[in-house]
Chain A
Amino acid sequence: MSSLFRFLLRHHVFILFILLEVLSLVLVFNYNNYQRSVYLNSSNRITGNIYNAYSKVTNYFSLPRVNQELAAENARLKGLLAQQPGTVQLPENMIQRQPDGGYSFSFVSARLISNSVNRQHNFITLNKGRKDGIKPDQGVISASGVVGVITNVSESFSTGISLLNPRWNISAKLKKNDYFGSLSWDGRDYRFAQLNEIPFHVPLAKGDTIVTSGFSSIFPEGIMLGTIESFEKGGGDNFFVVQVRLSVDFKSVTYVEVIENHHRDEIEQLQKMINDGNNLD
């Protein structure tokens, strides 16, 4: 017994080293996007407040660009309104058409207070939280397209996975002919993502627009993702390897909107019934 103590005492540094490394690696491996410990991420009170104070200062430097983006979005929205004069003049009509109490999607505007593009797994932190109605699994978009999805929510902050994260795939389709595939990021360049599962017979062209498919309940259909930069036939597969230039500039995105789908529970319940049915067969 005493020789064991002597052994432990002599090698206490090495044993402590191994212990701490194992502890760190357990943290790495246990780390799962949806069951993350609420306290070990940047939506907690201390880190959230530090990031928030910091971004309040730095936001002044990006005001000219943000103004420009808002002006451009205003112009785009006004253009859309001009195309549908009837619905604008009679908003009550629209409300009456939805007797079950409102629209299927609603939006909460928020500010990114932390963001990164140069990791393998990039995350976003927003300055809105539970008290503003943010919930996990809500989509995050900016004026130019899809940014990410919320995973963790605290009282007044929330964190999410950025599109620049290989742990997340998003269902996407070609705008011109509705062929769908899944878009994911390979961890190399923050300006490009890859669209998979597009078969060879689909006609593709450089510059084709890729939008969300609306098959998941996170994003509505038709939100901009990017444009085709290049495509080639992958060796051995029956699918194209499509390089997509993302429409969002992840290095400069600041103001975002969080999407709530009011029918999500209903849709998921139905899909769950189908899946359960399949399991029984």
Chain B
Amino acid sequence: MGITWIKYPVMFVTVVLIQVLLLNQIQFSGFVNPYLYLLFILLLPVSMARYQVLLLSFLLGLTIDVFSNTPGIHAAATVFAGFLRSPLIGRLSGRESEINDYPGLKQNGMRWFVLYTAVMVILHHFFLFYVEVFTLSRFFATFFRSLASSVFTIFMIVLSQFLIFRD
């Protein structure tokens, strides 16, 4: 497993650069912004200790925050998603079925991966958008913004599994 120590740092830098240089600059219709960087948290080994997942989530979120001048917002949302990752994997996989340690699309099947991604992205995005506006007035405007961005992010993450970080 020596390769892991190179693969994950490279992945970290790659998703951060893609996020801040590409996705944060392209703005579909003014209010939809996909947050692909969550892919890094999705693809951490299943067997990784939960406290490590949390610390990495915080680090990743804070890095994105520094680039987009939003201290704490991405960090809070990513830690939230990172915390719910392990229970979610447990629930999605059932006790008897064996799950590959690398939670990619090729390893665990299309259906499992899409479901896993969808739940994680929706949790992350809704937390993120509601912390960002920090108000429940215009509840539905924020709701639709979160939903629209979630759809884009899920699409991009599933698509990315055919291009990079497949194994």
Contact = CB atoms under 8 A, between A and B. Distances in A.
Interface of A: 12-13, 16-17, 20-21, 23-29, 31, 36-37, 40-42, 44, 47, 50, 54, 58, 116-121, 123, 159, 187-190, 251
Interface of B: 17, 20-21, 24-25, 27, 30-33, 50-51, 54-55, 57-58, 61-62, 65-73, 75-76, 79-80, 83, 131-134, 141
Contacts of A31: 71-72
A21 B51 contact: no
Contacts of A36: 71
Contacts of B17: 50
Contact of A37 (B31, B61, B71, B132): B71
Q: Please name the 6 residue pairs, one residue from A and one from B, whose CB atoms are nearest each other, closest first.
A: A27-B72, A24-B76, A28-B72, A24-B75, A123-B69, A27-B71
A28 B76 contact: yes
A13 B48 CA distance: 13
Contacts of A20: 54-55, 57-58, 75, 79
A26 B69 contact: no
B61 to A, nearest CB: 7
B79 A118 contact: no
A29 B76 CA distance: 12
Contact of A120 (B20, B27, B30, B132): B132
B14 to A, nearest CB: 14
Nearest to A251: B27
A40 B133 contact: no
B141 A188 contact: yes
Contact of B66 (A23, A47, A54): A47
8 contacts: A17-B54, A24-B76, A28-B76, A28-B131, A50-B17, A54-B21, A116-B27, A121-B70
B27 A21 contact: no
Nearest to B51: A16
A244 B10 CA distance: 46
A46 to B, nearest CB: 9
A37 B132 CA distance: 19
A239 B133 CA distance: 26
